Structure formats: structure tokens, C-alpha cells
Amino acid sequence: MWQNEPMRTATEFSKLKQAAKRHGTPLYVYDERIVTERYRELAAVISYPNLEIHFAVKANSNPRLLKLLKRLGADAETVSPGEIRLAKRAGFTSKQIAFTCANASAADLDAVIRAGGTVNADSLYQLEYFAKRLPKRRPLGVRINQGIAGGHHKHVMTGGPDSKFGIDPSQVRDAKRIAAKYGRKIDGVHQHIGSNVLDPPLFAKAMRALLGTARQFDELDYVDFGGGFGIPYRPGEPRLDIPKLGKLIDQTMADFVNEAGYQPRLAFEPGRYLVAEAGTLVVSVTDYKITPHKTFVGVDSGFNQLLRPAMYGSYHHIENASNPRGRAQKVTVAGNVCESGDVFAKDRPLAAPRIGDLLAIRTAGAYGETMASTYNARPLPKVAVIT
């Protein structure tokens, strides 16, 4: 199934239309049922006993979705003091919050120390900063770059030689020495190879690499493999094979437990997988322009509200919620930002769009609203949560 089928029924279109009528457009609509489905599906395929799913708040920090994920059993993964505040406001306790961030300022690091929770140092400098100041009862880990990257675009590949993230495995000895200098041990290892990875064996390969490094430490409290689980953006694109992923994860952890002789906590930090398909950006058609070269459909939103197409060239499926059975026309859907790169879809078939129609820009629940800006002095998009 490409996307949750009920999302694509007439009932769902009418929910989108009702929400747009009530709140106006541009409007992000999030469907809690899809978040619930994705969370349960992921949690169910991994049998390893000490599993923790840390939701990556950067993907979507809507308070209702954060509260929902907490109720479902998730912890929170954060990258700034602001995200920690949002997670706490949604009810996550300090213990349920982990922090990992490259190039954080001293003010950020101090705020993280005050806030509580697990900390993964991204550099030897950060490690020393935390080792010196973080209370010993607080878990302190280190992010490692094993040289393995994955993802839909080079901007989101976070492993490998050009990546700014983590320390090199060859620096493990230095990391241990720094921790020991302050009378503490390193509690965990962390990595995140990139985002929107659809290839289970690549996750297993990255896990094995990090677990190899984990063997250089005495007993670790946790191993954290980050996020990156991908979802299909295009109709017909195969889904990530979650049962296969679960089996590979269990097998890889079983091998580690067998060799290392202990069972660390296992953490993942999915963002996109849990929320992307739950989100639709509903926009209104504001203009229709035929040139000798193209037909442009203008809408009341732009890359200031959904950056992914302009930033990564990402595909987002678009449907005409007001006229779903209209005759398909090949159109370019463009936004209202004063830049020519402000295009949501190029030369795509779309059911006959008319001025005032509502278009549903799909799979916009991750890295949509959280990346929105007020560029061109436009307000941030409105938001509605449906169940």
C-alpha cells in the first residue's frame, strides 16, 4: 500500500475540506491514526527486549502529535534546547529525552545539562564539556561516524568522510581517556546514517559497524542507531520492508549479545517514518496561467511552508481534493514566494484545477511545518489535527 488508503477516500477529502473551511489555507492537516499505525507497526517488528523508540522531534513538533507519541510509548530525540522544551511541554520526562547536536554553543550545552536526559556528544570537545559537568547519574554517550551513509539526498546523508557529524572510530581511545579523566565511563554509542533509507540491509550493515566499535568499550548501557527509516513518496514506490528490517535488527543484536555477553538498551530515532504520511499540506488554487510552454497552477503557499521540493528536489504527490474526478491536465504547481524555484510539482497530471480548489500536497508530515519560515513576510502555515 503506497499510503494509508483511508487517507485517499472521499471521506478523507471531506475531512480535509472541512478543516480548510474552518481554519483556512495554507493548512497542515495531521491524521493521528496514521501516526499510531506507523508507531505500532515499527514497534511490533522488533522483538529485542530493551527497545526504545525515540521520536525525532525535528521531523514534527506538533504538541498533539508529541503527546500522542508519548502515550504510544515513544521517548523523544532532540537537537536543541528549544526541542527539549517542546518535548517537556508535551509531557516527556527528562529521562525520556535524548539530545544529540553538532556544533552546539556553550549556552546550548549548559541548557542541555540543566534540562536532564541522555546526552550524546558529537565531538571530543563536547565529550569533554559534558564529562566535566554532567552529573554522573546522567547517561553520556558519543556519536560515531562509521563512514556509512544513506538517504534520499546528499544533504541528509549524515555518515561518511564529508559529514560534520560524530567522531571517527579511530578516536574511541581518546574518547575513553577523556571520560576517564573525569572519573566516568561512556554509557552509549550513537549513530545516524541519514534520512529516508529504504534498504534494510544498509541499516544492518551500519548497525554491525557501530556494534564493532561498541566492542571497544566495556559494557555499554545503550546503543542508539538513529533514525532514517524511509517511506514511499510516489504512488507505486515500494515501502520499506519493515518485517525484514525487524528480523535483521533482531539478528544483528542477537549476534552482538552472543559475542559481547551483555544486553544493552537498543534505541532508534525515527522521525519521518512515524509522521510523514500522516501530514497533508492543503493549499488553495489562486491562479491559473497558460504560457506557450507550460500551464501553471498558482497556490497560496510556497517553499516557505514546504521546503522539501525546492531544497532537495523532493516529490510530493498532489491531488485535487475539490475536484478529484476532474479530467487530468499536465500542470506545474507553483507557490507564491518571489523566487522561480518555488515549485511544488513540475509537469504533473492533476485533476482539472480551478481557482479556489483545494489541493492536497501529500506526505508532508515530516520536515514540512518544522522547516517552515516567514520568508517574504508571510505567516507560518496553520495546523489542524484530525483523528
Ligand X SMILES: Cc1ncc(COP(=O)(O)O)c(C=O)c1O
Q: Which residues bind ligand X (CB under 6 A)?
A: 56, 59, 77, 100, 158, 192, 195-196, 226-229, 269-273, 366
Instruction: Name the residue among 188, 209, 225, 192 with its Cα closest to residue 46.
Output: 225
List 345's β-bridge partners, or say none.
333
Residue whose CB is less far from ligand X, 270 or 353: 270
Continuous segment of H or E residues that includes residue 320: strand 318-320
Using CA atoms, how far residue 62 sits from 33, 55, 56, 369, in Å, is 15, 12, 12, 9
Q: How far is CA 226 from its chain centroid? A: 10
CA atoms within 13 A on the CB side of 222: 24
Residue whose CB is less far from ligand X, 59 or 361: 59
Minimum CB distance to ligand X, residue 79 (Å) = 7
Taking the CA atoms of residue 340, residue 344, residue 347 and residue 349 in that order, the dihedral angle to the nearest 10 degrees is -160
Is 101 considered catalytic here?
no
Pick the catalytic residue from 1, 106, 290, 338. Answer: 338
Minimum CB distance to ligand X, residue 358 (Å) = 27
Q: Tell me the three cell numbers of residue 26.
A: 495554507
The answer to whether the beta carbons of residues 160 and 200 sit under 8 Å apart is: no
CA distance 322 to 328: 13
Task: Tell me the residue nearest to ligand X as measured from the CB.
Answer: 227
Contacts of 288 (CB under 8 A, 6+ apart): 295, 296, 297, 298, 353, 354, 355
Residue whose CB is less far from ligand X, 57 or 172: 57
Minimum CB distance to ligand X, residue 338 (Å) = 29
Residue whose CB is less far from ligand X, 23 or 153: 153
Minimum CB distance to ligand X, residue 82 (Å) = 15
CA distance 361 to 320: 9
DSSP line for 226-282: ---B----STTPPPP-HHHHHHHHHHHHHHHHHHHSS--EEEE--SHHHHGGGEEEE
Contacts of 225 (CB under 8 A, 6+ apart): 190, 191, 192, 203, 206, 207, 210, 266, 267, 268, 269
CA distance 25 to 11: 19
Q: Tell me the three cell numbers of residue 20.
A: 480548510
| Dihedral sign for Cα atoms in the order 161, 164, 165, 171 | positive
Minimum CB distance to ligand X, residue 66 (Å) = 15
Residue whose CB is less far from ligand X, 122 or 342: 122
Residue whose CB is less far from ligand X, 159 or 381: 159
Residue whose CB is less far from ligand X, 58 or 138: 58
Minimum CB distance to ligand X, residue 229 (Å) = 6
Residue whose CB is less far from ligand X, 76 or 253: 76
Minimum CB distance to ligand X, residue 102 (Å) = 9
Minimum CB distance to ligand X, residue 367 (Å) = 7
Place of cell 528490517: 245
Q: Which residues are catalytic?
A: 338
